[in-house]
């Protein structure tokens, strides 16, 4: 079976190759770290112009709403990002691994992954993921996140140099 390597830009930017991360096992699954995962090749990227769903006031020590299928560790950034995307009506994979490999896992499942910020996109930086809530005119983004200051701690912040990071749409 010949598979078009549409993930090469993601791999090159990550300093990885497809053999070191994942091996396609058939037309409908892939293997990563000895786990077989479904491959949703017909899944189209989610595209919305605005994320109009308000961010909940989680506060310190309070959990985000739990979304069905969330296999991430409660209180971590991945757990929050999964829940927030579900809240926005833009679900993502429940077994994408550590935040540092989400761009690769998302690309394998057919999500659009690039360096262009968009409201509602997952923002990935140095093993941490958050959700873009606002895009500034000065190449900055406002993100909502959990576990940036500590487990179960919800926070928001502005990040500059937005075009340097991965975005999962």
What percentage of the chain exceeds 70 in pLDDT?
60
In a domain, 12, yes or no: no
What is the model's pLDDT at position 166?
A: 97
Instruction: Say how far apart CA 14 and CA 124 lie, in whole Å.
Output: 12
Residue 13 belongs to some domain of the structure: no
Q: What is the pLDDT of residues 78-118, one digit of tens each?
A: 999 999 999 999 999 999 999 999 999 999 999 999 999 99
Q: Work out whether strand 22-26 and strand 166-168 pair parallel, antiparallel, or are unpaired.
A: unpaired
User: Does residue 29 fall inside a structural domain?
Assistant: no
Whole-model pTM?
0.64
Residues 42, 94: Cα–Cα separation, whole Å: 18
CB contact at 8 A, 108 and 39: yes
CA distance 56 to 46: 22
- Give domain status of residue 86, yes or no: yes
Lowest mean pLDDT among 58-62, 133-137, 143-147, 165-169: 58-62
In a domain, residue 73? The reply is yes
Least confident of 31-45, 90-104, 129-143: 31-45
Number of domains in the chain: 1
Residue carrying structure tokens 């659009």: 112
> Containing domain of residue 155, as a range?
45-168
The predicted-structure confidence for 5-30, as pLDDT tens digits, reads as follows 444 444 444 444 444 333 333 344 44
11 belongs to a structural domain: no
CATH assignment of the domain containing 163:
3.90.1720.10
Q: Is residue 59 part of a domain?
A: yes
Confidence of residue 67 (pLDDT cuts 50, 70, 90): low
Edge-to-edge strand list for the sheet holding 122-125: 113-114, 166-168, 122-125, 128-135, 140-146, 154-160
Judge whether 133 lies within some domain. yes
Q: What pLDDT does 103 receive? A: 97
């Amino acid at each position: 079976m010949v598979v078009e390597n549409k993930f090469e830009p993601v791999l090159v930017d990550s300093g990885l190759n497809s053999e070191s991360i994942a091996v396609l096992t058939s037309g409908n699954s892939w293997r990563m770290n000895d786990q077989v995962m479904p491959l949703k090749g017909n899944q189209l990227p989610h595209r919305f112009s605005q994320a109009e769903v308000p961010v909940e006031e989680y506060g310190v020590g309070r959990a985000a709403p739990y979304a069905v299928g969330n296999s991430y560790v409660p209180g971590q950034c991945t757990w929050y990002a999964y829940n927030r995307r579900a809240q926005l009506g833009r679900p993502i994979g429940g077994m994408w691994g550590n935040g540092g490999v989400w761009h690769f896992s998302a690309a394998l499942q057919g999500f659009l992954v690039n360096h262009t910020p968009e409201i509602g996109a997952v923002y990935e930086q140095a093993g941490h993921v958050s959700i873009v809530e606002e895009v500034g005119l000065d190449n900055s983004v406002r993100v909502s996140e959990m576990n940036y200051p500590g487990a179960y701690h919800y926070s928001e912040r502005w990040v500059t140099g937005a075009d340097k990071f991965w975005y999962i749409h």
